[in-house]
Structure 1
Amino acid sequence: MSDPDRTRITPSRKIYEHLDEASLELEKHYTPGGASDRFAMAMVKMLRFIADTFFAKRYGNRAIVLETVAAVPGMVGGTLQHLKCLRRLCDDEGWIFTLLDEAENERMHLMAFMEIIHPAWYERLIVVIVQAIFYNAFFLLYLISDKTAHRLVGYFEEEAVISYTLYLQRIDSGDEENVPAPQLAIDYWGLPEDARLREVVEVIRADEVMHRDTNHRFADRIAAGQHY
């Protein structure tokens, strides 16, 4: 019998027809409950400031850089949860699948944007530098406090939801060209064949909402002692 408390991410390609903004709770925010939560939020706000500084109103280019970072936590968390289960000879309660699926999903975000936006050489260099720093920093953070690590990702995803909402607004206002969706995105998310950039950003935002809620829920379960 399956554990009802297990949290699994449903692939967004199966929820394309359920993108009602009210149900997504786009403005949902987790209020910090302690020093580790405040630390996590402060780190995310700092990263947001850096992103806003380097990629002001260039949401496509920013998405490429940030998605290379966003795909790191799920892989790190999934790996360390896997090793922990091996050491303790216990079940993972569905966490490994969820975290690795999250990493793969974030990578598909990157692949979709790469079909639309062609980053300059210096942006590719930024990706290499940022990933090297972030991977090692997040790996260390997860070893020290997996609760803080998941809370940080939850706040990171909150900011991602805001960024993609602003991206949609720029598309609607005509500031960003609503180009045809790449076939890769159409196939992965099950979009209509005539889908455009707006539909791609919508489903990606829905993904980030799920990652937001999942990571905050994981942090809550760790804080409540409901996960080893």
Structure 2
Amino acid sequence: MREIYFPDRKIEDGAAFITLEAPYRAQDAALVPVSVKATVPRDAGWSIKTVTLLIDGNPVPLAGKFHLFDEAGGGGVEISTRVRVNEYTLIHAVAETSDGRLFSAERYVKAAGGCSAPAMKNPEQAMARLGKMRMNLPQSLPVGTPVTAQLLVSHPNHSGMQFDQISRTYVPPYFVKSIKVSYAGQPVMDVETDISLSEDPSLHFTFVPKAAGELDVQVLDSKDDVYTGEWPVTPQPAS
């Protein structure tokens, strides 16, 4: 994985400040919850700019490359999503800092068949809701304090390995390629994704509400279709 995604670069052990959480034995290999948490000392002089999530044993290991822009990356990072796991494998989270260093954490997961598991929704339901989004925000949004939001995107995210029992053919790959999140006109996070992300992608992320503004999302899929959503954010004065 290092030579494919980080050629000729040193990756240090990040266990001191990075936590990668995933079930040791997944209940559903097509919907494996994964969380990456990192704490950066306030006087460290660096922040986390990118987190790369890799499922080593998958046909396409990259589940997501999260580019962080909001100041929440300076004090720490919390990202959660759901992935497909194709075989018993290690999962790696690799964080790149603003000064160019790489740190990693790993977790072993027992799951198999996630990339070829049939879709949970029937095709008509999936296409009827294609591109629809929901944003879950906490009730309290203190100004200047990092908060966690959840983005849900309705998309079949076909891996290309799923077999249609009716047509007796493989379902062509059709998946989300990128997700861009901005707040009040400023970028918060850009995500590069691939087939290892689950059906109907779910993404928890942090941002810092400073003033009233729109939380905007743009989703691009492998057919170059674009879906957008926006949600008003009105932070309250800190008590």
* TM-score (normalizing by structure 2): 0.22
Question: Which structure carries more strand by proportion?
Answer: 2
* TM-score (normalizing by structure 1): 0.23
- Report which structure shows greater RCO (CA 8 Å, sep ≥6): 1
